[in-house]
Amino acid sequence: MPSRRDGPTSHRRERMLASPRFDGRVFRNTHNVSSGLKPGVERPTMREFLCPDEHRVPSSPLPVVDPVPLWGARPSSGLRVTWLGHSTLFVEIDGARILTDPVWGNRVSPVPFAGPKRFHPPPAPLAALPPLDAIILSHDHYDHFDRPTIRALAETRPETPFITSLGVGERLERWGIPPTRITELDWWETTDVKDVTITASPAQHFSGRGIKDRNSTLWSSFHLRGPKHSFFFGADSGLTPEFSDIARRLGPFDLVALEIGAYHPSWGDIHMGPENALSAYKMLASGAFLPIHWGTFNLAIHPWSEPAETLVRLATPARVPLIMPKLGAPIEPTQSVGVDPWWRTVSSMAPVPLVPVGAPESLLPIDGTVD
């Protein structure tokens, strides 16, 4: 097993060097965009992050549906998705069961005693998930790539493969996952799981878990194509013309999941927010729209429910087919009609600290490293 100082294996290094996105040192976006704060745009202050206002976290419990009894029956349409919080989705597509960016930990942080806590417990215990055919890991940021969750899945699901972006497999191997269980993909590369073809597709973002590894691994969106259905998982991305390329090469779609939360105008190249997410949806040009990357962690300075409110306000007159289920509620796009604004029942008026919701004991503690 390679150590942290060994760097990529020779085979992995060869694949990285062959990637059009790798410049010999780091991965880069297709377009020349900032991976941090945009110039000429007002930037959030450190005080805004350290002294959150009263609206950034919900002060009453979020409604959460227990999906476990509902998972007992297969989806009647062949495509069903359960939003388990943030960007974690349990996808059932044409007989395959696939989990995206699983995060069951209590914090998305390199240390167990600081950093954003969950607003809500996971809708289902990790052990209650049905058998999995694949686990997709889009990139290595803490809110998508949770070490205790991944290690728990590796131990309890010993046959399930991990499918991820180029270079990320090195981290998985350091965490004890055998190379035979890891498939790394560059953009437009594919792998098959049962009858479903999984394609890594472009995203405009960045990577890294510490101060010295910025963009040392790739970031991706992912497309799932079964015999009858098509699902696009946008993961993390800023608005990019590449959404049109994705539509041309991989569409049409039955359902698309795009990030709407944890955004700021100065992050506009690497995160979208609701307005740019609608522009991306128009480029993708088909399918119902499931918003993700909101409602679970306090990662920005906007009110916690603002992305949902803004999306509904903008999408309704445009007749965009939104699907916005409660956390844990399995949805089939062909059977979902309208938007139930469940977040309006949740109070956010009282100033409260980050909500201390306990994570499963088996997933704690995080060991404090930046892996």
The structural domains of the chain, with segments of one domain joined by +, span 11-363
Q: What is the pLDDT of residue 371?
A: 62
Residue 353 has pLDDT above 80, yes or no: no
Q: What is the pLDDT of residue 352?
A: 33
Q: What is the pLDDT of residue 334?
A: 92
pLDDT band of 146, cuts 50, 70, 90: very high
For residue 136, the cross-strand partners are 100, 163
pLDDT band of 328, cuts 50, 70, 90: very high
What percent of the chain clears pLDDT 90, i.e. is strictly above it?
74
Tokens of 340: 């139930």
Tokens of 357: 């919701």
Spell 81-93 as b/e; 16+ CB within 10 A means b: bbbbbbbbbbbbb
Higher pLDDT, 230 or 367: 230
Average pLDDT score over the chain: 88
Residue 149 has pLDDT above 70, yes or no: yes
Q: What is the pLDDT of residue 9?
A: 77
The residue with tokens 């046959």 is: 159
What's the farthest any 2 CA atoms get from each other in the chain?
55
| Beta carbons of 21 and 218 less than 8 angstroms apart | yes
CATH architecture of the domain 11-363 equals 4-Layer Sandwich (3.60)
What percent of the chain clears pLDDT 70, i.e. is strictly above it?
85
φ/ψ of residue 202, rounded to 5: -65, 155
| 53-62, 124-133, 223-232, 327-336: segment of lowest average pLDDT | 53-62
Tokens of 156: 């309890």
| Beta carbons of 246 and 294 less than 8 angstroms apart | no
For the segment 275-320, what is each residue's pLDDT rounded down to a tens digit? 999 999 999 999 999 999 999 999 998 999 999 999 999 999 999 9
pLDDT band of 52, cuts 50, 70, 90: low
Q: What is the pLDDT of residue 40?
A: 53
Distance, in Å, from the CA atom of 371 to the CA atom of 147, rounded to the nearest integer, reads 8
Residue 86 has pLDDT above 70, yes or no: yes
Question: What is the mean pLDDT of the segment spanning 211-216?
Answer: 92
Higher pLDDT, 367 or 209: 209
Radius of gyration for the chain, computed over Cα atoms and rounded to the nearest angstrom:
19
Q: What is the pLDDT of residue 35?
A: 56
For the segment 62-81, what is each residue's pLDDT rounded down to a tens digit? 999 999 999 999 999 999 99
Residue 354 has pLDDT above 90, yes or no: no
The residue with tokens 């009894």 is: 69
